[in-house]
Chain A
């Protein structure tokens, strides 16, 4: 603002619109009030409130309390809880005490966030240069709340957090101060988070009207699952739609067909391999559905029904209130205008669900949280990627140098180097595994296969980058080819090479993950992604997203590490900017 008034003195005489002056202040004030309010609200919740129990810290507290009941908890957090309990003279940690502790922590977090927004308001008033930085702290603090608070029907907490983020984004754009790279990055992230949750809210509000089933169902609603299954046994209906979680303990699955006498409905089968598209095609997957849709049929006819659409026209049943099926089944399919199923909770979980997935045991009652398991997997994959990166970079540097020195080699081999990259890595990967055996080395070679290409090309370009006079200078000193390479061409190529290294760093992680699939290596992220995507349900989709986030983090960390190395080594190359 000061710059403007200096460069064009005319604007100084113009009256400043009051709204423009006060608007950021009001927005910041509203955001601060919202965040403070959320903090107080969360602290004042009763210990059995769903908002607390379903929140990320709440879930964590419950798990920690459970872990502290073990004699020697294996995980770090479990160990803390145990120690904390022992100090106060108890054998295991009290859930309520842990929950209260979490409430306090969240309250403190909200307070600090609100405080930094408050300081930002002072910055706005005094037009200080640091205002943006302080507001950024407030934005990060508020955005983080999205990962803590669950989205629940009839609860506005999550919505209020979104409102606060939007307000802060507005203030941040209007505030004085330099826009740093970090601010740009955080503004982009916050915008994505807001868009993520908004589009989900929009889809959820529309979803009730659009995800209707095929027409032609002959449908009966039963008050309970048992009554529906009894009707199926009697032959009144040919199939029952239900949640797989509810039904899997009642009857054997088809086609696995492990006949267990202990199951109450031994003469019925549920179809275990229903295609996903078909599931969401029949019923709307509202937030109420905690699991996967399945179909129960008689054992004798199970073979006939592999798709729900085969049941059209036949009498079927479901539990009346379970999915509010009556409502949907009575609606004609022609009402469907828009299919927003990619935004439903099965396909795009709430941010809090992803955060929660990180802080929950990977398996029921597991002793390690998913974050630990994914962290280990990430580290394992990173090691493979790093190994492949090193192979690829060395190979690329040698090849690029050879090409730069021999026109013959460049003409003869460069086309093959280019062609190698048009072969899908997925096709090459199994071959490499067959040749080298299913080992991390094979994975590293696969990672190297996509890593060497950018390094080769950029090394070649970089070595050829010095202007003719720079080369003639070397000739005038009667320098050997080797000296020219070492003292001129290679230093001149370094910026090019580092550009390639940054591309290769991320590519090597992708290569390692792809390489893990055919080699059946179970310790890395590839297997985790495969596992969580094969078991596609409301409980495992957030885990899949967590694995995706972890995979992305490994790539980003690698990229940033190379970036830091580049800054250190190329410091003297950087012209004043």
Chain B
């Protein structure tokens, strides 16, 4: 699949991208320095690195939640602002960010309501998405009646509801326990394979990055930059057992060493 991705069109391209907070101030912080990255359709990209390496900032630049200081960033051939207005991406945060006063299905329908879909389409699509994340039976529950993992699955269903071509995930499973996290990884992989969506996934966890992605972008802090982009050749389909294969360990070790070197440099 990684090989196939090569021939697909470029979805995101960043050239000489800089992000400096408090430009010109004495407390100016270079969050991203000279980032160059090309992501093709259908890829699953993980951004990994220690805190302060700018991985979340890069994701927020792509989502147009913050503006770059310098450089070029294109989403589907448009600037990020236009891409946001065109609703090119769905976003999942570390917290599920469900609205307490809406039922699960109403939460999933939220983007559809904003985009003006008719009611029947909304309901149908929401049910479809909830079935996809295996929460079909919980449509009429309220968020606070669900566990943390279930809430995060609702958030994924909500991000996918309007069928964006791009899914941005900012440490979505960071607050979950190990077991739930591994189950969610399987689930996410299944959804990715089923929908063929492009995913950019920010994480702290090396095994998670290796298990999920087709490429891993290793980043280092102060200033935030890309150290290396690792092609992940762990074969598909990836199952629970995949985590116990030598190739998996190999890749985990490779990324870990890259991160350690980056850390020692800094």
Contact = CB atoms under 8 A, between A and B. Distances in A.
Contact of A573 (B65, B86, B87, B100): B100
B135 to A, nearest CB: 18
Interface of B: 63-65, 84-87, 89-91, 93-95, 97, 99-103, 110-111, 113-115, 142, 144-145
A476 B91 contact: yes
A487 B110 CA distance: 8
A477 B114 contact: yes
A473 B97 contact: yes
Interface string A475-509: 11111000100011001101000000000000000
A364 interface: no
A469 interface: yes
A153 B112 CA distance: 78
B91 A473 contact: yes
Contact of B100 (A476, A479, A572): A572
Given A475-B65, A475-B84, A478-B84, A469 B97 contact: yes
* Interface residues on chain A, size class: 20 to 34
A470 interface: yes
Given A469-B97, A472-B65, A491-B99, A479 B89 contact: no
Given A575-B144, A576-B144, A488 B99 contact: yes
B99 A476 contact: no
Given A473-B91, A483-B114, 9 more contacts: A469-B94, A470-B99, A474-B114, A475-B84, A477-B87, A478-B86, A492-B101, A494-B101, A572-B142
A473 B77 CA distance: 23
Given A469-B97, A487-B110, A476 B103 contact: no
Nearest to A470: B97
Nearest to B63: A476
A380 to B, nearest CB: 37
Interface in A166-206: none
22 contacts: A467-B95, A470-B97, A470-B99, A472-B65, A472-B93, A473-B91, A474-B114, A475-B65, A476-B63, A476-B65, A476-B84, A478-B84, A478-B87, A479-B114, A487-B114, A488-B99, A491-B101, A491-B102, A492-B99, A572-B103, A575-B100, A576-B144
B101 A572 contact: yes
B101 A469 contact: no
Nearest to A478: B85
B117 to A, nearest CB: 12
Nearest to B93: A469
Contacts of A492: 99, 101
Contacts of A573: 100-101
B260 to A, nearest CB: 31
The 3 tightest CB contacts between A and B, nearest first, are: A476-B91, A469-B93, A478-B85
A575 B111 CA distance: 24
Nearest to B85: A478
A477 B101 contact: no
A483 B103 CA distance: 19
A573 B85 CA distance: 31
Contacts of A575: 100, 144
Nearest to A494: B101
A233 to B, nearest CB: 82
Interface string A511-534: 000000000000000000000000
A477 B97 contact: no
A491 B101 CA distance: 7
Interface in A136-179: none
Contacts of A576: 144-145
A254 to B, nearest CB: 70
A479 B113 CA distance: 10
Nearest to B90: A476
Nearest to B144: A575
